Amino acid sequence: MARYRGAACRLCRREGIKLFLKGERCLSAKCALDRKAYPPGMHGLNRRRKESEYGIQLREKQKVRRIYGLMEKQFRNTYDKAARKTGITGEVFLQMLEKRLDNVVHRLGFAPSRNFARQLVSHKHFLINGKVVNLPSYQVKKGDVIEVNKKSKEKKVFAGTLDRRASLELASWLSWSEGELKGEVIDDPMVQEKKIPVEEHLIVEFYSK
């Protein structure tokens, strides 16, 4: 499975916004964007170019792609599927990204970042409606129950999950079972709930050229 292997903090600095790619570290004093609030590279401090219309659209596309941790081919394929569905393409696209299993695992507090969630899913640590699913791109549906595999519940990686939930603001379209390593999809994702400002129409314009 192809994935970005470079420095995550470099991506946040390039986009000029916290993408929360490293979980709790992004909220601490160690956050690279707080210490170096300018683009990476030797000319980062002096780079003051005015962005073209294309450049603005490209940056928005790259920002969203990096938030969800997808390579360009995966990202474009998801967009093409969204474009073929009924509804507003930009909103349908964001909903499909939100309904990826790796994102839902992260949203439910099982993993501090989407990248870590993707690894957990790939290693068969999760069940959906009682069946093992190891595809990070799996699209969850309303009514799906996501829970940690019985064999994995005692692993250290899930030791702090219940404590992590205490400080987690759960999306309105998800719910979890108190005291259990289990959650449920109770509705479709609400686009207006996105924590990071995203102008999805710019992505639609970029791919419509």
Where in the chain is CATH 1.10.1050.10? 8-97+196-207
Q: pLDDT at residue 205 above 90?
A: yes
What's the pLDDT score for residue 34?
A: 47
Q: pLDDT at residue 19 above 80?
A: no
DSSP for 151-168 reads GGTTSGGGTTHHHHHTT-
Where in the chain is CATH 3.10.290.10? 100-187
Lowest mean pLDDT among 26-30, 61-65, 181-185: 26-30
Distance of CA 9 to the CA centre of its chain: 15
Residue with the two structure tokens 């986009």: 15
Q: What is the pTM of this model?
A: 0.81
CATH 3.10.290.10 for domain 100-187, yes or no, is: yes
DSSP helix/strand/coil, 84: coil
Residues near 168 by Cβ (< 8 Å), separated by ≥ 6? 109
Q: pLDDT at residue 24 above 50?
A: yes
Residue 197: which region, alpha, beta or left (left: phi > 0; alpha: psi -120 to 50)? beta
How many C-beta atoms surround the C-beta of residue 116 within 10 A?
17
Over residues 128-139, the pLDDT tens digits come to 999 999 999 999
Which regions of the chain does DSSP assign to beta strands (E)? 126-128, 131-132, 145-148, 174-176, 182-185
> Crossing angle for the helix pair 200-207 and 72-83, nearest 10 degrees?
90
What's the pLDDT score for residue 209?
A: 78
CATH 1.10.1050.10 for domain 8-97+196-207, yes or no, is: yes
What's the pLDDT score for residue 44?
A: 53
Exposed e or buried b per residue across 153-188, where buried means at least 16 C-beta atoms within 10 angstroms of its C-beta: eeeeebeebeebeeeeeebebbbbeeeebbbbbeee
Over residues 85-130, the pLDDT tens digits come to 999 999 999 999 999 999 999 999 999 889 899 999 999 999 999 9
